[in-house]
Amino acid sequence: MQFSKRTINARKVVKMKSGIILKSIFLGSLAMGSLTLSGLSPASDNPRRIDVSVKRFAYTPAEITLKKGEPVVLVLTTEDVAHGLKFKELNLNSKIEKGKPSELAFTPDKTGDFVGHCSVFCGSGHGSMTLTLHVTE
């Protein structure tokens, strides 16, 4: 069986491209494995989303543990009255309207325990409304 020069050249190109693709896959897998073994992980495209229910006079959950440098979105919802959430030390503040979710997106840049307070007066127990963030390494 005889092949034309054109067919032979086309086969050579396919072989070369296949080799390049296989090498790329191998190197990518090796890099991902190295990150995993080193305890690191590749950056996530999607931040961690945490639902927080807000009502007079509590946040549920009342405590959340986060990792430093890991992006997060707190999805805050309330069904009773307007509320707020302010973390002075983290320079974060959000207003939460009744029946309308509010998203508070941030990336913790320091470790420690941070206490957020309701920043919109909501009644007699307003002063005791807190949400604690525990940020670890």
pLDDT above 90 for 87: yes
pLDDT of residue 109: 95
Superfamily of domain 48-136: Cupredoxins -  blue copper proteins (2.60.40.420)
Among 90, 85, 93, CA closest to 113:
90
Average pLDDT, integer, range 68-81? 95
Annotated domain spans of the chain: 1-42, 48-136
Please provide the size of the chain in residues: 137
Query: At 57, is the secondary structure helix, strand, or coil?
Result: coil
pLDDT band at 32 (very low <50, low <70, confident <90, very high): low
106 Cβ neighbours under 8 A, 6+ residues apart: 71, 72, 90, 92
Query: At 6, is the secondary structure helix, strand, or coil?
Result: helix
pLDDT of residue 36: 45
* Higher per-residue pLDDT: 114 or 34: 114
pLDDT of residue 38: 41
**Which of 12-26, 39-53, 111-125 tops mean pLDDT?**
111-125
pTM comes to 0.66
pLDDT of residue 4: 63
pLDDT band at 123 (very low <50, low <70, confident <90, very high): confident
Average pLDDT, integer, range 85-91? 95
State the average pLDDT for the chain. 82
